[in-house]
Amino acid sequence: MSDQLSKTRAGGRHRAKKSFGQNFLVDSRIIERIVNELAPRADETIVEIGAGQGALTSHVARRAGKLFAVEFDRDLVPVLRDKFAAQENLTVVEADALEVEFCRLIEPAETARVVANLPYNISTAILQRLIAQRACLPEMFLMLQREVAERVVAAPGASGRGFLSVLVEAYCEADILFDVAPEAFRPVPKVWSTVVRLSARPQINFENEDLMWQTVSAGFAQRRKTIFNNLRAASPDLRTRIEEAGGAEQILFQSDIALQRRAETLTLDEWTRLVAALS
């Protein structure tokens, strides 16, 4: 249990909270590596999500023009404010990252890069939110559970290929930077982590975004089933749309996708064609 406790500056102790997905980085080489990959510049704004006890914060604040450190745990917010009281370019924001309007937060800056050692339990949800706000968040450096990182970059046909892979591929260029062993954190998690870089693509290739994600989600609904069977079992809304376009068989034929294919084998191009056939 002792490694779950760490001293705060005020002399108090903070017990890592599982519910907040708290695994604090303690390995200075890893911290340095992340900050070097991010390479904060004096003329830019950075957003850190889940600042925790400030392991990354201090290094980023030293190099960035302006840093917003978002932290949801109200026990940690005063610790951060106290620790960085003299750091004038840093604003500690007590908020749920899933609710933050980043484009507004960073004003008057128009864009900000993101760095985050994400709470694993909400990493998929946060990733979706960040992607939705990519207009002002052109680049993100994210520590993810390795298995999630593998899903993020999974190519068509790879076992981890799923909704998350298609979503990220559609909007971002994703690169795996390096893996991080569990021992780099306190408390020590059960799994390995991976740092990934996501860069927002300047353009996307499809028009109806809602329909796209509705279709991809339906396609992956039951992973063992074919795309054809998943489309036929889609929610009433989407099914009506499919019927209006001539039925599942017809739209798959039209987009040159064999009926027995599974969603995990489809390329982004094929998803795009499928949605075009539905539009």
Residues in contact with ligand SAH by CB under 6 A are 20-25, 49-52, 55-56, 70-73, 76, 96-98, 117, 119, 122
Structure tokens at 49: 């999500």
DSSP 117: E
Beta bridge partners of 46: 67, 113
Q: Which is nearer to ligand SAH, 72 or 228 (CB)?
A: 72
**Separation between Cα atoms, residue 149 and residue 123, nearest integer Å:** 10
**Separation between Cα atoms, residue 138 and residue 171, nearest integer Å:** 10
Structure tokens at 24: 């604090």
Q: Which is nearer to ligand SAH, 58 or 199 (CB)?
A: 58
Helix (H) or strand (E) segment spanning residue 140 = strand 139-145
Give the nearest distance from C-beta 173 to ligand SAH in angstroms.
24
- Whether the upstream peptide bond of residue 202 has omega within 30° of 0, thus cis, is no
Give the nearest distance from C-beta 65 to ligand SAH in angstroms.
20
Taking CB atoms, the residue at the shortest distance from ligand SAH is 50
Structure tokens at 14: 């903070």
Give the nearest distance from C-beta 154 to ligand SAH in angstroms.
24
How far, in whole angstroms, is CA 10 from its chain's centroid? 33
Give the nearest distance from C-beta 48 to ligand SAH in angstroms.
7
Q: Which is nearer to ligand SAH, 22 or 272 (CB)?
A: 22
Q: Which is nearer to ligand SAH, 24 or 84 (CB)?
A: 24
Give the nearest distance from C-beta 102 to ligand SAH in angstroms.
12
Q: Which is nearer to ligand SAH, 71 or 169 (CB)?
A: 71
